[in-house]
Amino acid sequence: MIGNPVDYDKKFKDDFPIYPAKLDFELKKYLELIPGKEVLDLGIGQGRNSIPLSNLGFNVTGVDYSSKCLEICKNNCSNLNLIRSDIRTFEIEKNRYDLILSSYVLHFLHKEDSYKIMNSIKETINLNGLIYLQVFSIEDPKFKKNKSLLDFELLDNNVFHNIINDTYISFFTREEILDIFKDFETIYISDEYSLELIRPNPHYSGVIKYIGRK
Ligand SMILES: C[S@@+](CC[C@H](N)C(=O)[O-])C[C@H]1O[C@@H](n2cnc3c(N)ncnc32)[C@H](O)[C@@H]1O
> What is the rounded distance in angstroms from the CA atom of residue 198 to the CA atom of residue 20?
9
Task: Using the atom order of ligand 1, give the atom closest to the CA of residue 102.
Answer: 6
pTM of this structure: 0.97
Structural element, H or E, at residue 188: strand 185-196
Residue minimizing CA distance to atom 8 of ligand 1: 103
CB–CB of 88/109 below 8 Å? yes
Domains and CATH numbers, the chain: 20-137+172-213 (3.40.50.150)
pLDDT of residue 111: 98
Could you give the 3-state DSSP secondary structure of residue 124? helix
For CA atoms 148, 161, 137, 27, the dihedral sign is: negative
CA 79 to chain centre: 21
Substitution site in 7, 60, 70, 108 for ligand 1 pocket (most atoms within 8 Å of beta carbon): 108
- Residues with Cβ within 6 A of ligand 1? 5-6, 8, 19, 43-45, 48, 64-66, 69, 86-88, 103-105, 108
Cα 104 to middle of ligand 1, angstroms = 7
Substitution site in 64, 101, 102 for ligand 1 pocket (most atoms within 8 Å of beta carbon): 64
Parallel, antiparallel, or unpaired for β 81-84 and 99-103? Answer: unpaired
**Cα torsion through 58, 90, 140, 30, rounded to 10:** -20
> What is the rounded distance in angstroms from the CA atom of residue 81 to the CA atom of residue 157?
35
Give every CB contact of residue 32 below 8 A, 6+ residues apart in sequence.
Answer: none
Could you give the 3-state DSSP secondary structure of residue 80? coil
CA distances to 71, 131, 137, 186 from 168, rounded to whole Å, are: 25, 23, 15, 28
CA distances to 89, 105, 120, 184, 200 from 84, rounded to whole Å, are: 11, 15, 19, 29, 25
Each of the 214 residues of the chain gets a pLDDT tens digit; together they read 999 999 988 887 777 777 889 999 999 999 999 999 999 999 999 999 999 999 999 999 999 999 999 999 999 999 999 999 999 999 999 999 999 999 999 999 999 999 999 999 999 999 999 999 999 999 999 999 999 999 999 999 999 999 999 999 999 999 999 999 999 999 999 999 999 887 778 899 999 999 999 9
Using alpha carbons, select from 171, 197, 19 the residue that is nearest to residue 106. Answer: 171
Task: Using the atom order of ligand 1, give the atom closest to the CA of residue 113.
Answer: 19
